[in-house]
């Protein structure tokens, strides 16, 4: 329980260390070296097998090293063992980075600097942000933040709760691999297939926990939990990912907006996917005496206001608090069994 609490507080206070020795960067380096060796040949099956081998090596090495370091530190001193365990857990999730990334976009929009907002958005999405207007910057920020809420916060905490720091860092390794090779392009369509599928399996339960916690948080902060739940059930499967759509749909319902649609990417291609959410869920707030044109204008203005990003961030933070409370309760119950 102490590991869970201290690692969570450490991330909130310090964020993640920005240096080349961060274990996640070491995981990325290991992936690059193995890919150079294994991602060869024209046979699709061989590439898939090689990709699976790389996945097992990277995750296995990461977890073995973490286990040995934690156990060795416990042998030396109990306090050192606790500190090392907290550190391993702390580097497995990134709540502060998630919040700061969204806040950076919001701050630039608040200062009416679309150019700076686009640059900050480009740090968290793969789509081309150079020509996005304010509405699509807001929607893209919310979409990315909702998706990463599971990958960066809820799922690592889930594995930390059920399996401790070693399992949490193992999840982080799997998620890092998916982020690096889990693309459906010519280079990774086969080699990254296993990493992508394995990440989907690991995220199946956490993603649904994330969606439910977003709905609960929306009930408290937005008084819109029922709508969030309805949209999650209706649109959660519209995303190409079996997991990302759950949190995105719940967040879209919570905020009363649509996300998804068509966007351009740096390679010059345009990618479209089904829209998630309804853009009329805030209509009940409108003055019934307004004529249709003014009602639409007011609804549009409310739908895509800058503060939607802050509302999204607040929901994400409350979700993390709920996840912490769940973890503490489980640890307390387990301690009495």
Instruction: Report the length, in residues, of the chain.
Output: 337
Q: State which residues form the domain around 237.
A: 2-336
Count the helix, strand and coil residues of the chain and give each as a percent rounded to the nearest 5.
75, 5, 25
Question: Contact, 254 vs 220, CB < 8 A?
Answer: no
- Six-digit token string for 122: 């480009």
Q: Determine the Cα–Cα distance for residues 11 and 86; give it in Å rounded to an integer.
A: 10
Question: Contact, 70 vs 167, CB < 8 A?
Answer: no
What is the count of structural domains for the chain? 1
Q: Digits of tens for pLDDT over the chain (337 positions)?
A: 899 999 999 999 988 877 666 788 889 889 999 988 898 878 889 999 999 999 999 999 999 999 999 999 999 999 999 999 999 999 999 999 999 999 999 999 988 889 999 999 999 998 888 888 899 999 999 999 999 999 999 999 999 999 999 999 999 999 999 989 888 788 888 999 999 999 999 999 999 999 999 999 999 998 889 999 999 999 999 888 889 999 999 999 999 999 988 888 877 788 888 899 987 544 444 444 445 545 444 444 445 788 999 999 999 999 999 999 999 999 888 877 6
């Amino acid at each position: 329980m102490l590991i869970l609490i201290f690692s969570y507080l450490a991330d909130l206070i310090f964020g993640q260390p920005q240096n080349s020795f961060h274990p996640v960067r070491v995981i990325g380096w290991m992936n690059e070296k193995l890919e150079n060796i294994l991602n060869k040949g024209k046979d699709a099956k061989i590439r898939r097998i090689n990709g699976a081998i790389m996945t097992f090596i990277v995750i296995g090495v990461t977890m073995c090293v973490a286990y040995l370091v934690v156990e060795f530190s416990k042998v030396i001193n109990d306090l050192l063992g606790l500190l090392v365990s907290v550190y391993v857990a702390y580097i497995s999730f990134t709540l502060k980075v998630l919040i700061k990334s969204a806040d950076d976009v919001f701050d630039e929009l608040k200062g009416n600097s679309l150019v700076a907002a686009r640059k900050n958005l480009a740090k968290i999405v793969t789509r081309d942000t150079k020509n996005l207007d304010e509405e699509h910057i807001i929607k893209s920020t919310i979409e990315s933040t909702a998706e990463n809420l599971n990958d960066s916060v809820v799922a690592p905490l889930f594995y930390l709760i059920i399996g401790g720091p070693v399992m949490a860092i193992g999840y982080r390794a799997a998620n890092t691999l998916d982020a690096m090779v889990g693309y459906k392009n010519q280079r990774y369509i086969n080699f990254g297939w296993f990493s992508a599928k394995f990440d989907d399996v690991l995220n199946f339960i956490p993603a649904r926990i994330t969606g439910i916690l977003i709905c609960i948080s929306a009930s408290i902060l937005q008084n819109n939990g029922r709508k969030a739940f309805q949209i999650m059930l209706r649109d959660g499967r519209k995303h190409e990912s079996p997991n990302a759509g759950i949190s995105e749909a719940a967040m879209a319902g919570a905020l009363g907006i649509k996300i998804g649609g068509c966007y351009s990417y740096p390679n010059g291609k345009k990618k479209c996917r089904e829209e998630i959410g309804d853009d009329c869920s805030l209509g009940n707030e409108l003055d019934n005496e307004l004529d249709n044109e003014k009602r639409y204008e007011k609804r549009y203005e409310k739908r895509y206001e800058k503060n939607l990003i802050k509302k999204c961030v607040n929901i994400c933070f409350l979700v993390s608090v709920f996840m912490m409370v769940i973890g503490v309760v489980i640890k307390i119950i387990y301690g009495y069994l």
